[in-house]
A and B are shown apart, each in its own frame.
Chain A
């Protein structure tokens, strides 16, 4: 069926072209979102730097308190995990990488005889773990591509409740770190208990010149007690913003690859279609010629005048 193959190919090319339009659009959208996510991460930096700065000043002032968030356990048995990935797929290996390292961590805790709590951020994470029969403590969805501070606060509230009440000695945060546009890597970070304030201060990042002689109201310990929960929120917020930027960067790359593939496929299919078209034309010509030959083999000349236009009659 010569005409059929051509029609089928034409239809396939049409559908690949449509797919290409979609992936191209998604690529462009992801590109602008990466830029915006990076900008938001940049806008969030002064806050966390200032917070760290306050901790530096507190530490310089010698404030050290016994706060639940700093409480270190002798031996860590039960661990809670906060796993941050995306709500949507079509982002290359982005979700899979985070999920794989999260599952590995959970298995490691279980192998040591410990228990785990799972707090999931992103629909993909929720789907993955509930499908595999893990116990999910709480799941947050619907904001991974554009997280607000409010979201970070909700998650932080739940994390602290888990850390305070249950038999949990440690909270790990698993997300994708945004190193640069070209590099994002999944990381597992110790989240709680926090480092001692002196360590936070040493690691720095704060822009406050740590000058001693600050006076505190209500007291260094009081300020620190107010500050640590916010520090937790700010760190979580930073992680969410990083994850969002990583998600968009991964999606941009995946969609670029998809667009390129579609383009390649269109070229291949167009070639196949042209060949099919040419073949069918050749076949048709062959048929006509051989048909004409069969019919007019005895009298070739008599057939020709019939193809000429009829002369109009002279008036």
Chain B
């Protein structure tokens, strides 16, 4: 039992494939896994890692900076203005971004943009497999 999975960003179609399971994290709902035949669902995503289990059993990991997931029985669409496949993530860049965002956040703990940037950098590092995500997230 498989379903079609698409990652759509404003610049292009990031990924299109066939999968057996998709795991994402929605705002307010925590982690959620979709299997074929899931009820029609639209969720608002957090900045998170999305895992797609392909037919072959391979797991593809994506860093997603917020967005939406739209599910019908046979199709999962992830809409995100910024998403990167694990292989495409520039680890050095993400680490630099992380340092920068942390500095900005320390200077102004209320800075929502800095926090968002930090989370985005963390998720990218985690999805690339370079760094284990800190447990308290």
Contacts and interface: CB of A to CB of B under 8 A. Distances in A.
Given A218-B29, A222-B27, A222-B28, A54 B79 contact: yes
Contacts of A43: 11-13
Contact of A214 (B29, B41, B67): B41
A226 B80 CA distance: 12
B132 interface: no
A143 to B, nearest CB: 14
Interface string A139-154: 0000000001100110
A157 to B, nearest CB: 9
B38 to A, nearest CB: 10
B70 A217 contact: no
B90 interface: no
9 contacts: A54-B79, A208-B70, A211-B72, A214-B40, A215-B40, A218-B44, A227-B68, A233-B10, A237-B10
A149 B40 contact: no
A223 B11 contact: no
A199 to B, nearest CB: 19
Contacts of B82: 149
B33 interface: no
Contacts of B40: 57, 211, 213-215
A160 interface: no
Given A47-B79, A222-B27, A230-B81, A216 B43 contact: yes
A46 B8 contact: yes
Q: Kindly list the 4 A-B residue pairs having the minimum CB-CB distance in the complex, ordered from nearest.
A: A218-B28, A217-B43, A217-B29, A226-B44
B77 interface: yes
A217 B41 contact: yes
A58 interface: yes
B42 A58 contact: yes
Q: How big is the B interface, by class? A: 20 to 34
A186 interface: no
Contact of B42 (A40, A44, A57, A148): A57
B55 interface: no
Contact of A217 (B9, B32, B67): B32
Contacts of B41: 214-217
Nearest to B29: A217
Contacts of B10: 44, 47-48, 149, 152, 233-234, 237
A50 interface: yes
Interface string B47-67: 000000000000000000011
Contacts of B67: 230
A237 B70 CA distance: 22
Given A50-B79, A211-B40, A233-B81, A217 B11 contact: no
A51 B12 contact: no
A40 B66 CA distance: 22
Given A54-B79, A217-B29, A218-B28, A223 B39 contact: no
A86 interface: no
A237 B27 CA distance: 25
A214 B71 CA distance: 9
A211 B28 CA distance: 24
A53 interface: yes
B21 interface: no
B1 to A, nearest CB: 20
B119 interface: no
B128 interface: no
Interface in A167-214: 208, 211, 213-214
Given A44-B10, A46-B8, A47-B10, A222 B79 contact: no
Interface in B16-42: 26-29, 32, 39-42
A46 B29 contact: no
B81 A223 contact: no
A217 B70 CA distance: 11
A48 B77 CA distance: 13
A217 B68 contact: no
A214 to B, nearest CB: 4
Nearest to B32: A217
A29 to B, nearest CB: 22
